[in-house]
Amino acid sequence: MSNIDVEKIRKDFPILSKEINGNKLVYLDNAATSQKPSTVINGIKYFYENINANPIRSIHSLAEEATKNYNEARKKVADFINAEPEEIVFVRNTTEAINLVSFSFPFKKGDRVSTTYMEHHSNLLPWLQLKEKGVNVDIVSVSDDYELDMDYYKKLPKNTRLVALTHASNVTGTINDIKEITRLAHEQGSLVLIDAAQSVPHIPFDIKNIGADFVAFSGHKMLAPFGIGVLYIKKDIAENLKPFLTGGEMIKDVSLSKVIYENTPNLFEAGTQNIEGAYGLGLAVDYLNKVGMENIEKYENELTTYLYEKAKELKNVEVYSGKSRRFSGIFSFNVIGLHSHDTAYLLDKKGIAVRSGFHCAQPLIEDRLKLDGAARASLYFYNTKEEIDIFIEELNNIAVKYGRR
């Protein structure tokens, strides 16, 4: 058994005791966004009551305090993934992080970049846009078991400069072997970008062990407020990137004829940043560290296994799951004969929150799975086996009443 006292943890998340449509909330939409603990919620209030000022530039005491806290948040995030603080760029979210790389990376006409069929649109559209610049975009195929074609990575097409892929699929929960793919890509002279939005919140993530060059993830999926995300850029690589947004706080010296830019990470943080968000992310990281990422991974594996075991009893329900799913806690499904939106609507009437539709992964769902959508339950470490029982019971009721072969 894992070392998680889930009842104690749940007390830290005020929203979890809320009622929805007359029922106790069962929040199973964690892959969309996580709930926030009191330390983060109260921390934001504390920030504005005690720390608020524009950091970095102003030199008065309060601004120093804000700068100190902003830097501390960066250090906390760096430690969390075993990186150096200067390798951590604060952005709005995963989408912005990947757009930054696609814009700033020195692609030339005829270069190749690859992404995959199992990506969220945020790791697909920024690359497809590069076609306009004459960059070729390869889309790595996905097998019937929802696994990536590893043969592709063993022999990358010539001129491949960057390999982009997700660590964990937000639809099938498939976990990709990013360490091996990074090794293969580096051997062939390509850099690697990992969309870690669905993994960093759930497992110990050691970037030095993985070795990838860019890693993107969002704070709001890991207990932090909305509007703060992270782009990890491996040391020395940032030098080859051009600035993304230009303006305040990203320069060393400006005249009308010449601009000397700051070094990373400030170079990529133009304008006044989301200091409150970074501070909140730091507190979220503190909370996750206190629970322990190894404990979280272990507990979520238990919960996920329990969910999939229980789901075997269901009739008139189709499940779309990668073989390699482990920690991601993702369970995508349809009641046969019912649109995912209607399934989600019926679950919501019982207080159960799940996602439905394309999950911003339309090519995977429409072209590969041949579906017009799927419903998805996604777990986090504050979910319980009792909640899974409630979910399975209600899903069964819906499947019995509405399911049709």
Partner 1 sequence: MEDDKFYELVELYRNPEHYGKLSKYNYSENGYSPSCGDKFSVYLDVENGIVKDASFDGKGCVISTVSLSKLCSFLIGKPLKEIEKMELKDVESLLGIEDISISRVKCATVGLDAVKKVYKEVKGS
Contact residues for partner 1, defined by CB under 8 A: 337-342, 345-346, 356-358, 362, 365-366, 372-373, 401-402, 404
Closer by beta carbon to partner 1, 75 or else 121: 121
Our CA dihedral for 16, 17, 21, 26, rounded to 10 degrees, sits at 40
As beta bridge partners, residue 204 has: none
Dist. CA 337–CA 354, nearest whole Å? 18
User: Minimum distance between the CB of residue 168 and partner 1, rounded to whole angstroms?
Assistant: 22
Among the listed residues 124, 94, 324, the one whose alpha carbon sits nearest the alpha carbon of residue 216: 94
Closer by beta carbon to partner 1, 45 or else 405: 405
Distances (CA, A) of 234 to 224, 291, 317: 23, 28, 44
Helix 275-291 with 61-80: angle, nearest 10 deg: 40
Closer by beta carbon to partner 1, 51 or else 361: 361
Catalytic: 360? yes
Dist. CA 159–CA 150, nearest whole Å? 18
50, with CB counted inside 10 A (0-12, 13-18, 19+), is exposed
User: Minimum distance between the CB of residue 169 and partner 1, rounded to whole angstroms?
Assistant: 17
Task: Supply φ then ψ for residue 90, to 5 degrees.
Answer: -85, 130
Closer by beta carbon to partner 1, 266 or else 362: 362
Selecting among 16, 40, 197, 360, the annotated active-site residue is 360
Token representation of residue 321? 């799951």
Task: Indicate the pairing of strand 355-357 with strand 374-378.
Answer: antiparallel
User: Minimum distance between the CB of residue 354 and partner 1, rounded to whole angstroms?
Assistant: 13
User: Minimum distance between the CB of residue 144 and partner 1, rounded to whole angstroms?
Assistant: 22
- Helix H or strand E segment including 396: helix 385-402
User: Minimum distance between the CB of residue 339 and partner 1, rounded to whole angstroms?
Assistant: 4
Dist. CA 183–CA 195, nearest whole Å? 17
Closer by beta carbon to partner 1, 109 or else 404: 404
Give me the active site residues, please. 360
